[in-house]
Structure formats: C-alpha cells, structure tokens
Structure 1
C-alpha cells in the first residue's frame, strides 16, 4: 500500500496539470447551463414555511423580513422571546400570512426538538430551515485560563445548528426543502482572537458540506459565509477590539437579500459582501503572507520570551 502511495505522490501532480485543463471547458459549459436554469427557475416562497433561529436581531431579523416580503409563513426562534414580538409584527406587515414565535435555546437538544415540532404542528410542513443563531467570545489563546468559559460558542454555533437540523431532516425530505446555514468567512479565513468562533464556523462548513453529499438528492443546502455585517455581535467586537475597525462592515439588509435570493435559486454558497471572496485565493496560495500581514495588522508581535536567546532549558 505504501508503494502505491509513493507512485501516486510522483504521478498525480503532473497528471493533474494535464487533466484540469481538459475538464475545464466542459465544466464551464455545465456551469453555464446551471446558471441559465437558476435564472429561469426560482423557488416561489409564497405560503411556504420557513424556520429561522436567532431571529430576534441582526441577520436573522432581516431574513425574517425578506422571507416575509416573498409571502412565506414564518416560525421565528430565539432565546430572547420577548424581542421576537416586534419582529413578528413587522414580518406580518411586510407580507407574511402567518408568523409564530418560539423561545428556545438552540444548544439544548430538547429545545431544538421542541421548536421543530411546534413549527410542524402549527404549519403541518417545513420548507426552509435557517440555522442562523450564533455567538462569539473573543480571547487570545495564551490568555485562555478557563476553557469552559468558551464552550457555549461551540454549543450554540455548531451543535445548535446540528440539533435543529437532525430533527428537521424528516420534514425537509417530505417537502424537498432546503437548509440555509449561516457560517462565516472566518470559517475559512480565521481572524486572531476568535479561535473558538473560527473553529465553530469551520465545523459548520465541513458538517453541512458533508451533509450535502449525503442528502443533496432530496434536501438542498446553501452555506452562507458573511464577512463583517453590521449586527449586535459585530458592533460589540468593534467596540472591544479597535483593530477590527479597518474591516468595513456590510449591511444586514443587503446580506439577507443575497441569502434569500441565493437560497431560492438553489445556490450551494453565498458570500456577502462579495469582495470578501478575493481573500480565498490569497489564503490558499500565500498562507505565510496572510499570517504575516494579520500579525502586523492586529499587533501580534513576538513575545520576547519566544526568541531563541531567551529559551530556558532545565
């Protein structure tokens, strides 16, 4: 087996340089056909049922309004149930024929089962599940003395999406529905002092890409990787970490419009603001440069104790 690996190590790199250009043209033609199909066919959301977690503010709130404009019936979920009342009223004014609100903690397995069950019991179907709920707690890893303080980030951002999804899958299969998962650009372009947040979003991307392979024949999955969007979470990060202010904020309204439009087209991915996409090739092709630039931008200069001359040995 090791001999085969050695052969592949030598043969595959040059072979791929031959294969990639050959398949490029037919692939681009295939992509063109898919694009034309998406321009012609867009899912009509009128009276379809959309469940949105983290709907009390930020991107989740704006998603509720955007789906409402398309005539969808809404199930709005948030741990801050009182804040959902105003969102629900506005959604009705914008065109949603029926809106229910549910107070729930997405990181709790039983709560996740409950909000899916309550949604299906009320509307008798589920068409789109939008996993939007998320939190962030900034920390520099070497200052992290109590790891348990940061477990809620993984519990809410990752497990919160997984719990709801697993309970919703049987209902989404029946409706040939769609899962929309709000990950983050930080899932593939991590920023310093956000290790646990970055990790939770990277896990989301990997989990739902895997799920799309397994269930893509019956459930659509759209993975969203927003940049910095003007929400409570981002504004708090700006306040606590002034170095982040060099990153321009996008609009939550425009982000929500892009997400719903892409979901209704059946897109696999959507990134907003779109300029954030240019970071991906830099990360892949020039990882050392990306690390060096971030270290200088965010003031992560070497600690004197890290220098070779200061290393102590017993």
Structure 2
C-alpha cells in the first residue's frame, strides 16, 4: 500500500493539472452561460419572507436594507431589540411591506424555534434564511489568558448558524427557499491571530457544503466569503456586558480601513436572488488559494516576514458610557462579555498586548 500511495503522489498531481488545463475552457464557458442565465432570470423576492439573524448592525443590517429595497417581508433577529426597532423603521421606508423584530439568542434552539414559529404564524412561510451571526478575535493562541472564551467563539461562529438552519429547514423545503451564510476567507486562508475564528469558519463552510449535497437542490445555499469589511468594529466600537458601549484605541504605525459593508451586502443579496452558490468579496483573495494548494511554503514565509517586522504594540480601552466607563477592569471586559449577535468580520488590526491589558477582544 505504501508503494501504491508513493506512485500516486507522483502521478496524480501532474495528471490532474493536465486534465484541468484541458477542461478549463469548457468549465469557463458553462459558468459564463450560468451567469448570463441568472442575470436575466432572477428570483422575484417581492413580498417573500426573509429571516435575518444578527440584524442589529453591520452586515446583517445592510442586508436587511437590500432586501427591503426589493420589497421583501423581513424578520429581523438579534439580541438588541431596541436597536432593531430603528432598523425596522429604516427598512419600511426603503420599501419592506412588513417588518417583524424579535429579540433572540441564536445559540438557544428554543429561541430559534420561537422566532421561526412566530414567522410561520404571521406570514405562513419562510423563503430566505440569512445567517450573519459572527464573532471575531485577534490574539495569538498561546497568549490567551482564559480558555473559557474558546467555546464561546466556536459556538457563536458555528452553532449560531446551525441552529436557525436546523429549525427553518422544513419550511425552506416547502417554499424551495434559500439559505445565505456569512463566511470568511479565513476558512481556508491561514492568518495569524485568528486561529479559533478560522477553525469555526472552516467548520461552518464544510457544514453547508455538505448540506448542499444532502439537500440536492431542494433548498439553495449561498455561501458568502468576505475579506476585510468595514463595520462598526472597524470604527472602534464593541459591546460589553450590560450594554455599555466601549471604545478602544491602538498604538500603532499604520492605520487602515475595511471595504464598505454596503457593497458586500448588495453583492450577497444579488447573488442570493440569482441563485448563486458562492459569492466572494473581494474576489482577488482567491489567488492565494493557488499558493495554499501548490506552494504553501510561500504563505508561511510571507506571514513570518510580516510578523517579524511588526514590533511591540499595545491596546488600551476608553469607556464612553455606562457603569464601566471609569477605570474599566480588563478581566471584566474579556471574561464576561455577552453573546454578541452582530455580523462582525474579523478585525485584523486589533493588537495583542504584552501588558496586563486583555489579549482577547470579543468583537460585535
């Protein structure tokens, strides 16, 4: 068996490349035809029912506005009910006929059953389920100061998407509807300081790709993969317990900003109504996949070079409201955050401190 595998190790890679070279023109032609077809024959979302989790800010909020412009009925789900009320009014002004808001925790199956059942009771159907719940972090794994945060990161990024899908799936089958997933390029591109986030997103993408095969077209699945997106978090905000809004400031040499979240939201909704299986923003990230498969050492060398030139950086926190605004406790911020429902793409610019400042930043 060892000899057989050794022979295949030498034969299969070059043979596969040759086959790909010959099949590439045909595949490109088929994909082009599909794009042309879906460009003209898009799903009419007018008056259909769309459930959006993590709708209180960021990607979830902007996706709600894009569906509202297409006159879809919306069910907005998040933990911050007060925040949802303002979004509901905005969505109505943009054209949504009916907008329901529901405070719920997507990590609880009973909460998911509640908001799906209430949706069915009011509208009688579910056509699209949009899962935008996500939680990012930027810390070196070995420097994490409390392992109790690890399950929280995995739960929010994975189970926070799976539970709503599990509950809504029978109704999506009835309507031959669609599931939209908020993924990230980190599911296959290894980036420093994002080990648990990357692992959770990899599990999420593999789950939905497998589910797509199991459903066999009965329910469509659109996996949206983003790179660096500008949201509330890239403006320096996140929520801690008791709803106190905090700001952080960072001592560093380089300032950067993410891509507009509105552009990503438009791309997602456009892909969903066209029936696209995948949507990527920005698409140039895909070039790194070639390095990941054929030259993984290049990525490793690149990251090592970048890390070697980073130097020492520190992060400090400034309270802007609530009982935590004065002399905030680092341990309190890090260890007792609420479950955050908003769709925060990963923050790649938050720093890891080498002092007593917490090294884990839970981002909403």
TM-score computed with the length of structure 2 as normaliser: 0.76
Distance in 2 between residues matched to 1:298 and 1:174, nearest whole Å: 51
| Structure ranking higher in helix proportion | 1
- Per mean C-alpha deviation after superposition, the further-off stretch among 35-44 and 58-67 is 35-44
Q: How many residues align?
A: 302
- For 2:95, the equivalent position in structure 1 comes to 95
1:113-145 residue CA offsets vs partner (Å, 9 max, x unmatched)? 222222222111011100101112332111124
Q: Could you say what secondary structure the match of 2:86 adopts?
A: helix
User: Residues 21-36 of structure 1: matches in 2 within 5 Å?
Assistant: 21-36=21-36
Q: 1:17 to 1:139 in 2, by over 3 A?
A: closer
Aligned: 1:284 with 2:269: no
Distance in 2 between residues matched to 1:157 and 1:275, nearest whole Å: 24
Q: Could you say what secondary structure the match of 2:139 adopts?
A: coil
Deviation, 1:33, is 2.0
- Per mean C-alpha deviation after superposition, the further-off stretch among 87-96 and 233-242 is 233-242
Deviation, 1:12, is 2.7
Distance in 1 between residues matched to 2:276 and 2:140, nearest whole Å: 35
User: Residues 12-27 of structure 1: matches in 2 within 5 Å?
Assistant: 12-27=12-27
User: Residues 154-233 of structure 1: matches in 2 within 5 Å?
Assistant: 154-233=154-233
- For 1:250, the equivalent position in structure 2 comes to 259
Distance in 2 between residues matched to 1:202 and 1:243, nearest whole Å: 30
Q: 1:60 to 1:111 in 2, by over 3 A?
A: same
Kept in 2, the 8 Å contact 1:187–1:199? The answer is yes
1:78-97 residue CA offsets vs partner (Å, 9 max, x unmatched)? 01111100000000000000
Q: Give the RMSD, CA atoms, in angstroms.
A: 2.5
Q: Which of 1 and 2 has higher RCO (CA within 8 Å, sep 6+)?
A: 2
Q: 1:284 to 1:251 in 2, by over 3 A?
A: same
TM-score computed with the length of structure 1 as normaliser: 0.87
Deviation, 1:8, is 3.8
Q: 1:17 to 1:249 in 2, by over 3 A?
A: closer
- For 2:275, the equivalent position in structure 1 comes to 266
Distance in 2 between residues matched to 1:285 and 1:13, nearest whole Å: 10
Q: Could you say what secondary structure the match of 2:135 adopts?
A: coil
- For 1:295, the equivalent position in structure 2 comes to 304
Q: 1:278 to 1:115 in 2, by over 3 A?
A: same
Kept in 1, the 8 Å contact 2:158–2:204? The answer is yes
| Structure ranking higher in strand proportion | 2
Distance in 2 between residues matched to 1:186 and 1:21, nearest whole Å: 27
Q: 1:187 to 1:10 in 2, by over 3 A?
A: closer
For structure 2, the residue ranges without an aligned partner over 5 or more in a row are 238-246, 312-364
Distance in 2 between residues matched to 1:298 and 1:234, nearest whole Å: 21
For structure 1, the residue ranges without an aligned partner over 5 or more in a row are 303-314
Distance in 1 between residues matched to 2:20 and 2:90, nearest whole Å: 50
Q: Could you say what secondary structure the match of 2:148 adopts?
A: helix
Q: 1:178 to 1:3 in 2, by over 3 A?
A: same
Q: Could you say what secondary structure the match of 1:171 adopts?
A: helix
